[in-house]
Amino acid sequence: MDRFYSLSHSKIPFYFKQSIRDFVVEETPLYPFSGEGEHMVLHVRKKNLSTWEMIDRIANHLGIKAREIGYAGLKDKNAMTKQYISLLKKYEPKLESFSHDGVKILSRDYHGNKIRMGHLKGNRFFIRLKKVTPVAAQKIDKALAEIAKNGMPNYFGYQRFGADGENYKKGGEILRGERKERNVKMKRLYVNAYQSHLFNLWLSRRIEMNTLFSNFSAVELTELLNLPEEAIRTMQAQTHPFKLFEGDVIMHYPHGRLFHFEGDSRDLERFSAGEVSPSGLLCGQRAQRATGLAEEIEKDYDDDIAIDGARRYAWIFPQDVEGEYKEDDAWYELHFTLPKGSYATVLIEEIAKRPIQNSEEGY
């Protein structure tokens, strides 16, 4: 999709391609493991394998179903990643003979419960950008500083939409009854991609509006956006680059209850401090909707579908953001931590100000 980016700089030239040397991910568990219990927790390192492929390799060796192995999140295939998985301790003896070039068991622990999807705090990333000029490095420095200060939009990354980027179309066809999909896992994947696509479209629209707020007067925008002039002036006065609309569904950050934004200046201060964040809709049943002016935007990206919906943070605050330019190699190396469900490639695209998927010439 054509996407609006939050940063104001021009495109930055550099080369990036996911690989085990240039893209490294380490999962941060949600809780410490107890050291005892019927479940064995493995800290595993994988390379050039998806999480599902790694789990299949281990399950095949043990002669068990893949669903018996617990995991907290899916990690990129074209990367070096570390994550935690769990399985019943009774399989430990047979695990001793497991060997695979792409998988290494770094350590093991024990716990009373199986690891479930979402049982992680976030992920720590190392990313290396190449063919970076000194001028580009300075622009990256500035972009990283802005992200560290204000945060960034929480788009779904291209990985969410399949190799051709069109899984969301299949999801829409399934929901409209135009396509049959017997594989339950693939059906869920396609439908989730459809929800994610609508979320991304909504978020891009909101960021586009932020850009307009910065470049046009309230009088001009009243006619252009069909919004009340007073409301536009109020939003233009907000200090954070992502403007909150009256009726936005706000979530405590990085987790907590939901509430509607009613214009309270304290909520604006908490947003700037990274204590709360606006959310976008993953359409479906039982999901809370925006109200007021925010609803006028959101309803264009909603759909009455017979699955459960949810709210997703529209804006996130990367932690421990670090960057180092290595001029002799023309490399720029990044370290940062993202909350669960967020995409490192989205941060790279925010810096680059363009898509970074499937380019053989670099970015």
Q: Looking at the domain assignment, is residue 213 inside a domain?
A: yes
Sign of the alpha-carbon torsion through 305, 158, 208, 359: negative
Q: Residue 204's domain spans which residues? A: 158-316
232-290 confidence digits (pLDDT tens):
999 999 999 999 999 999 999 998 899 999 999 999 999 999 999 999 999 999 999 99
Name the residue among 156, 145, 140, 77 with its Cα closest to residue 346: 156
- Tell me, yes or no, whether 226 and 87 share the same domain: no
Tally Cβ neighbours within 10 Å of residue 11. Answer: 13
| Separation between Cα atoms, residue 93 and residue 86, nearest integer Å | 15
Tally Cβ neighbours within 10 Å of residue 216. Answer: 15
Q: Looking at the domain assignment, is residue 147 inside a domain?
A: no
Burial class for 327, CB neighbours closer than 10 Å (0-12, 13-18, 19+): exposed
Q: Domain holding 72: CATH number?
A: 3.30.2350.20
| Separation between Cα atoms, residue 255 and residue 257, nearest integer Å | 7
- Tell me, yes or no, whether 106 and 170 share the same domain: no
SS3 content of the chain, % helix, strand, coil (to 5): 35, 25, 40
90: which DSSP letter?
G
Name the residue among 23, 80, 20 with its Cα closest to residue 356: 23
247-261 confidence digits (pLDDT tens):
999 999 998 899 999
What pLDDT sits at residue 1?
Answer: 62
The single residue of 76, 109, 248, 267 carrying the catalytic annotation is: 76
237: which DSSP letter?
T
Q: Domain holding 267: CATH number?
A: 3.30.2340.10
Pairing of strands 80-88, 23-29: parallel
Region 343-352: what's the mean pLDDT?
96
Q: Looking at the domain assignment, is residue 250 inside a domain?
A: yes
- Is 141 a known active-site residue? no
pTM: 0.93
Q: Which range, 75-79, 180-184, 270-274, 355-359, has the best average confidence (pLDDT)?
A: 270-274
